[in-house]
């Protein structure tokens, strides 16, 4: 039954039962891992033929001796295969070493040091700093790159057809410090969302205050289907060129979750100008990529259909695991109505939202019984989930029996954290009022701004969390919010009533408003 309908006595009895279930988990001495999207040994075995390739025949179809230096663009044959899969012309795609994440890191670093094709100056010389838009929940390693570089990150809510483009358009149009945006356009990490054609069109067409605004288009899961159908690739480079912004997208992909996670091939796609710009600086650190590894992949796949056939073998291993997670979560959590989760058609992750305010507690409980889960908040910039509700589940690595035990145990932890939190809140709400006449005003404000998330007591946080919880399904609601950042040293989100006009403000006004709000909220 729904926890909302329980009396305090019934909730206490249920909590005691979950404590018993948790004690049973403690006695099992588990050692289970749901942290990263690692291929299982069974999946890696699918590519073992690579270990005997290319043999003594070290020349590619063009006659290149792959053992020697040179060839910054990578082997043409392999580029042709992945150009077809990614929807990119061969001249606009280069093949690199094993890590697409390394390509992303290098391109951000090159932009900071030298500026991009359209940059008036190196990013590091920008007086107002650099900002990136970060759809949330998103990929933690993306956020780690920008955080390491000192780039301010602005969270953007993810909707059913991609990030909230209405909000993005408003922000990039007025702020020249916004230089880029992280994207996983197909089977997003961890949401599983695939961007619609209209979303892609608007992203490449929108007006930006920064002439060198870039879309970091991480197409990591372009062919990673969990069904028998492969996603249709949107020609992001073609759309961008048609819109007059040919240099806006940087496209990335790799074979890390296709063949060997540490021994694959990465790809970088872009306009010819962007390709030349990247190679100009990459050539200073390396004479060329590992062409022998590229040759073994070329021979292993043969053509684009060879890649698709190989991915269907992955699908046969992965699809039952994803179905199992959905089954266990449905059995354990549906009735209580304390959680929701995604059921993606591709990719490597399931996004689980537990009762707001309990994700960190859930993960801590799981860790204490030997179930390793990605850190709560990892899918948000600065590892700060304002709702404290999102947990990323990676079903690929464990065996099916271990996966069942891990997800079942995680559900027990989520239920225990929920009853624990609700009971504590019940005790807090029954405590005597020691705040005098201010308490009714505070409670009324909380009820107005946070009626849908009763588990939070702070009205300031509550109203923002209400927006975050509704933005995933209500685009109009998300447009009511405008803000600079969630960084502690920047302007906080400010409520803008529907239909009101967004106003920018000077840094002095921002600082004064922050001081006023701080004093105001401390006094409540």
Comparing CA positions, the residue from 450, 415, 430 lying closest to residue 11 is 415
What integer pLDDT is reported at residue 399 of this predicted model? 97
Q: Is 102 exposed, middle or buried (0-12, 13-18, 19+ CB in 10 A)?
A: middle
395 and 260, same structural domain? no
Task: Provide the residue range defining the domain that includes 375.
Answer: 3-39+333-428
Q: Which residue from 118, 87, 142 is spatially nearest to 267, judged by alpha carbons? A: 87
Q: What confidence tier does 369 reach under pLDDT thresholds 50, 70, 90?
A: very high
pTM of the model: 0.82
Q: Are 25 and 72 in a shared domain?
A: no
CATH number reported for the structural domain that contains residue 175 in this entry: 3.40.640.10
Q: What is the pLDDT of residue 463?
A: 39
Whether 479 maps to a domain, the answer reads yes
Q: How far apart are CA 125 and CA 153, in angstroms?
A: 18
Residue 69 belongs to a domain: yes
363 with 511, same domain: the answer is: no
The total domain count for the chain is 3
Interval 263-277 mean pLDDT: 99
User: Would you call 163 helix, strand, or coil by DSSP?
Assistant: strand
Give pLDDT, residue 435: 41
Domain boundary among 428, 455, 474: 428
Reported as half-sphere exposure (CB side, CA atoms, 13 A), residue 234 has a value of 20
The Cα–Cα gap between 353 and 159 comes to 15
At 433-484, the pLDDT tens digits run 444 443 443 334 333 333 333 333 333 333 333 444 444 444 443 433 333 3
Same domain, yes or no, for 149 and 246?
yes
Show which of 398, 428, 458 is a domain's final residue.
428
The answer to the question of residue 326 being in a domain is no
């Amino acid at each position: 039954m729904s926890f909302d309908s329980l009396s305090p006595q019934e909730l206490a009895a249920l909590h005691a039962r979950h404590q018993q279930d948790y004690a049973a988990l403690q006695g099992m001495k588990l050692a289970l891992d749901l942290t990263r999207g690692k291929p299982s040994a069974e999946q890696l075995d699918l590519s073992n033929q690579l270990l005997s390739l290319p043999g003594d025949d070290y020349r590619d179809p063009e006659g290149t001796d792959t053992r020697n230096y040179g060839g910054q663009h990578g082997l043409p044959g392999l580029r042709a295969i992945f150009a077809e899969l990614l929807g990119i012309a061969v001249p606009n795609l280069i093949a690199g070493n094993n890590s697409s994440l390394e390509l992303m890191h290098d391109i951000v670093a090159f932009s900071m040091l030298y500026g991009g094709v359209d940059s008036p100056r190196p990013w590091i010389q920008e007086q107002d700093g650099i900002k990136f838009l970060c759809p949330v929940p998103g990929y933690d390693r993306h956020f780690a790159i920008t955080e390491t570089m000192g780039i301010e990150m602005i969270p953007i809510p993810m909707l059913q057809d991609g990030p909230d483009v209405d909000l993005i358009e408003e922000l990039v149009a007025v702020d020249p410090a916004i230089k880029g945006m992280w994207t996983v356009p197909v089977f997003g990490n961890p949401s599983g969302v695939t961007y619609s054609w209209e979303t892609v069109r608007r992203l490449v067409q929108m007006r930006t205050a920064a002439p060198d605004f870039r879309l970091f288009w991480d197409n990591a899961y372009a062919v990673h289907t969990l069904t028998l159908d492969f996603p249709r690739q949107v020609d992001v480079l073609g759309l961008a060129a048609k819109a007059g912004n040919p240099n806006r997208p940087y496209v990335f992909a790799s074979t890390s979750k296709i063949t060997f996670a540490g021994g694959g091939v990465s790809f970088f796609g872009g306009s010819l100008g962007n390709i030349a710009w990247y190679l100009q600086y990459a050539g200073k650190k390396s004479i060329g990529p590992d062409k022998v590894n590229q040759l073994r992949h070329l021979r292993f796949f043969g053509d684009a259909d060879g890649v698709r056939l190989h991915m269907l073998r992955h699908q046969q291993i992965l699809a039952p695991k994803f179905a199992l997670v959905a089954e266990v979560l449905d059995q354990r959590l549906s009735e209580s109505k304390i959680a929701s989760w995604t059921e993606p058609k591709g990719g490597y992750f399931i996004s689980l939202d537990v009762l707001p305010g309990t994700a960190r507690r859930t993960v801590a409980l799981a860790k204490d019984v030997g179930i390793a889960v990605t850190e709560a908040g990892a899918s948000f910039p600065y590892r700060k989930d304002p709702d404290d509700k999102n947990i990323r589940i990676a079903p690929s690595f464990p065996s099916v029996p271990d996966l069942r035990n891990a997800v079942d145990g995680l559900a027990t932890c989520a239920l225990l954290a929920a009853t624990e939190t609700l009971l504590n809140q019940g005790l807090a709400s029954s405590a005597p009022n020691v705040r005098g006449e201010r308490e009714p005003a505070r409670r009324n404000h909380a009820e107005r701004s946070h009626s849908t998330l009763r588990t939070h007591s702070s009205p300031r946080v509550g109203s923002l969390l209400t927006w975050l919880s509704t933005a995933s399904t209500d685009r109009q609601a998300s447009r009511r919010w405008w803000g600079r950042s969630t960084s502690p040293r920047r302007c906080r989100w400010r409520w803008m009533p529907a239909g009101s006009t967004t106003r920018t403000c000077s840094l002095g006004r921002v600082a004064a408003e922050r001081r006023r709000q701080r004093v105001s909220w401390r006094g409540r």
